[in-house]
Chains A and B, each alone.
Chain A
Amino acid sequence: MAKRIDISGLSAFYGNHKAIEDISMTVEPRSVTAFIGPSGCGKSTFLRTLNRMHEVTPGGRVEGKVLLDDENLYDSNVDPVTVRRTVGMVFQRPNPFPTMSIFDNVAAGLRLNGSYRKSELNDVVEKSLRGANLWNEVKDRLNKPGSGLSGGQQQRLCIARAIAVEPQVLLMDEPCSALDPISTLAIEDLIGELKERFTIVIVTHNMQQAARVSDRTAFFNLAAVGKPGRLIEIDETERIFSNPSVQATEDYISGRFG
Chain B
Amino acid sequence: MASTTPIDTPPAPPVPRPSPRSTGRMGDKIFLGLSRGSGILLLVIMASIAVFLSYRSAIAISENEGNFLTTFDWNPAGDPPVFGIAVLLFGTVVSSIIAMVIAVPIAVGIALFISHYAPRKLAAPIAYVVDLLAAVPSIVYGIWGALVLVPYLEGLNLWLDDFFGWTYLFDKTEIGIPRSLFTVGILLAIMILPIVTSVSREVFLQVPKMNEEAALALGATRWEVIRLSVLPFGRSGIISASMLGLGRALGETMAVATVLSPSFLISLHVLNPGGGTFAQNIAAKFGEADAFGRDALIASGLVLFVLTLLVNGAARLIIARRKEYSGANA
Binding site for B on A (CB under 8 A): 51, 53, 56, 58, 81-86, 88-89, 91, 93, 95-100, 108-109, 112-113, 147, 158, 161-162, 165
In the complex, what distance in Å separates the CA atom of A51 from the CA atom of B120? Answer: 23
Number of interface residues of B (CB under 8 A): 19
Instruction: Say whether, besides A99-B233, A112-B224, A147-B329, A81 and B219 are in contact (CB < 8 Å).
Output: yes
In contact, B219 and A95 (Cβ under 8 angstroms): no
Q: Mark B127-158, 1 if CB is under 8 A from A, else 0.
A: 00000000000000000000000000000000
For the complex formed, measure the closest distance between the CB of A205 and the CB atoms of chain B, giving whole angstroms.
18
Name 15 interchain pairs, CB-CB below 8 A, sorted by A: A81-B219, A83-B219, A86-B219, A88-B217, A91-B210, A91-B217, A97-B228, A98-B232, A98-B329, A99-B232, A108-B228, A112-B220, A112-B228, A162-B218, A165-B219
In the bound complex, residues from chain B placing their C-beta under 8 Å from that of A165 are 218-219
In the bound complex, residues from chain A placing their C-beta under 8 Å from that of B216 are 53, 56, 84
Q: Mark B89-127, 1 if CB is under 8 A from A, else 0.
A: 000000000000000000000000000000010000000
Q: Does B23 contact A (CB under 8 A)?
A: no
Binding site for A on B (CB under 8 A): 120, 208, 210-211, 213-221, 224, 228-229, 232-233, 329
In the bound complex, residues from chain B placing their C-beta under 8 Å from that of A112 are 218-220, 224, 228
In contact, A85 and B219 (Cβ under 8 angstroms): yes
For the complex formed, measure the closest distance between the CB of B87 and the CB atoms of chain A, giving whole angstroms.
42
In the complex, what distance in Å separates the CA atom of A108 from the CA atom of B229? Answer: 11
In contact, A95 and B218 (Cβ under 8 angstroms): no
A-B pair number, CB within 8 angstroms: 67
In contact, A53 and B213 (Cβ under 8 angstroms): yes
In contact, A96 and B219 (Cβ under 8 angstroms): no
In the bound complex, residues from chain A placing their C-beta under 8 Å from that of B218 are 84-85, 88, 108-109, 112, 161-162, 165
Closest chain B residue to A145, Cβ basis: B329
In contact, A93 and B214 (Cβ under 8 angstroms): no
Q: Which of B217, B219, B220 has the most CB of A within 10 A?
A: B217
In the complex, what distance in Å separates the CA atom of A83 from the CA atom of B214? Answer: 14
In the complex, what distance in Å separates the CA atom of A100 from the CA atom of B120? Answer: 30
In the bound complex, residues from chain B placing their C-beta under 8 Å from that of A86 are 219
In the bound complex, residues from chain B placing their C-beta under 8 Å from that of A100 are 232
Instruction: Say whether, besides A112-B219, A165-B219, A91 and B120 are in contact (CB < 8 Å).
Output: no
In contact, B210 and A95 (Cβ under 8 angstroms): yes
In contact, A82 and B219 (Cβ under 8 angstroms): yes
In contact, B214 and A158 (Cβ under 8 angstroms): yes
In the complex, what distance in Å separates the CA atom of A51 from the CA atom of B216? Answer: 10
In contact, B214 and A84 (Cβ under 8 angstroms): no
In the complex, what distance in Å separates the CA atom of A86 from the CA atom of B120? Answer: 28
In the complex, what distance in Å separates the CA atom of A164 from the CA atom of B228? Answer: 16
For the complex formed, measure the closest distance between the CB of A197 and the CB atoms of chain B, giving whole angstroms.
18
In the complex, what distance in Å separates the CA atom of A88 from the CA atom of B213? Answer: 11
In contact, A98 and B211 (Cβ under 8 angstroms): yes
Query: In the complex, given contacts A53-B217, A85-B218, what are 7 additional A-B residue pairs having Cβ atoms less than 8 angstroms apart?
Result: A86-B219, A91-B210, A91-B217, A97-B228, A99-B232, A112-B228, A165-B218
